Structure 1
Amino acid sequence: MSVLSDPQQLLLFVGASAALVGLPGPNLVYICTRSIAQGTGAGMVSALGVETGTLIHALATAFGVAALVSTEPAALKAITLLGAAYLLYLGIRALAGAGSPGNSAQPVPRRLWSVYREGILVNVLNPKVMLFFLAFLPQWVSHDADGTRARTELLALAAITFTVALVMDLGYAATAGALARRLRGRALPGRGRARYLVALVYLGLAAAAMFS
């Protein structure tokens, strides 16, 4: 029987997805960082970008691209290095902004399209997300499903995972944004120091990606 037609199994799948999605990682750190640095709206847009990347990983899994890439160590390493390089770029850009004039503690304005695009790239260039989909989703597909049915079930399960992850990410963005507003109201360090903190987060993620 398919998980999709068994309420108990479906509930178990949703719970497992929520538990795994809730684990700290680059996606969660990126979303919270954007909410703190730019406001709740930007954090929510970054969540949409991150979960758009989730859909890309899901499609790659359903159509066999992820399995093909996972068998090539060089391809996995290349994706890892690209992701680390992108995070390094974001960190350097934040450092450059930290040295600019202005000491306002208000959120730093950024185009929301840029935030959305960054969210996609942070997720897509993280091979651990791809490996997660390869390891997790196929376990819930019916054992007797043929190619077309298996792909359909994979896409349906991916859509559920996407929905669960998006709801949780929007919650993280709202929470981080609310905390940032409260802290800004207490006259904490201004924009320059906030950008140094953002840069430190990105550089730390880049280092973790390169050496993990």
Structure 2
Amino acid sequence: MDDYTKPGFYVDSTAPNVLEFARIHGQGNTLREKAINLFCAVRDGFRYDPYHIIFEQEEFKASVRLTRDSGFCIHKAIILTAVARAAGIPARLAFADVRNHLNTKRLRDLVQTDVFHYHGITELFLDGRWLKVTPAFNIELCEKFGVRPLDFDGTADCILHQYDMRGNRHMEYLKFHGSYADFPYELVHRDFVRSYPAMFAAEEAGAKDDFDFAQEAEEENKQRLANEGI
């Protein structure tokens, strides 16, 4: 259990700004209450952005991500894992391959698939067991997509919904990759380079500078509703 309470290179839970975030947002009389408050703070305090990903090691440190206003699922899982440890909650990272039915056309074109590897998850040890939670999608983005935001009650897993609010398929978990005390940068970077070459090419060319995932989600959801006569 010690590995899940002490700081790592990426899960740098003793960094001053990580400790400060945990102090401000992780208030509560029990570890469960602290975990719920930290989950909400990470979920909604950082916009989900799958486009502007800089694959440099420093960019995956929790203390660095706290200075940004956005991130993708791995960034946000690293933040939550770090601030949970800072609040005295054993925490670790986990990863899964998922099929996401509610992405956007631009994102599908960029990654050339609807299967996303190494979706980031935080596992929190509460009341004697590990719970999986995903703080990836902020409330505003969920509303634009027509998806219920995830609510964590501290007693059960809180992972992305299988269906949206209209009963359409949303997320399928295909393969779990296990749990990690710290972020396996080399493993994930190697997989992403192999699986998503067009994404890295676009990053190098600066082609993603004006991409806005939330705006795309809102526009496509409006079109979807219009097509369904809603």
Is the TM-score greater than 0.5?
A: no
Bigger radius of gyration among the two: 1
Normalising by structure 2, we get a TM-score of: 0.24
Higher relative contact order (CA 8 A, sep 6+): 1
- Please state which structure has a larger fraction of its residues in helix: 1
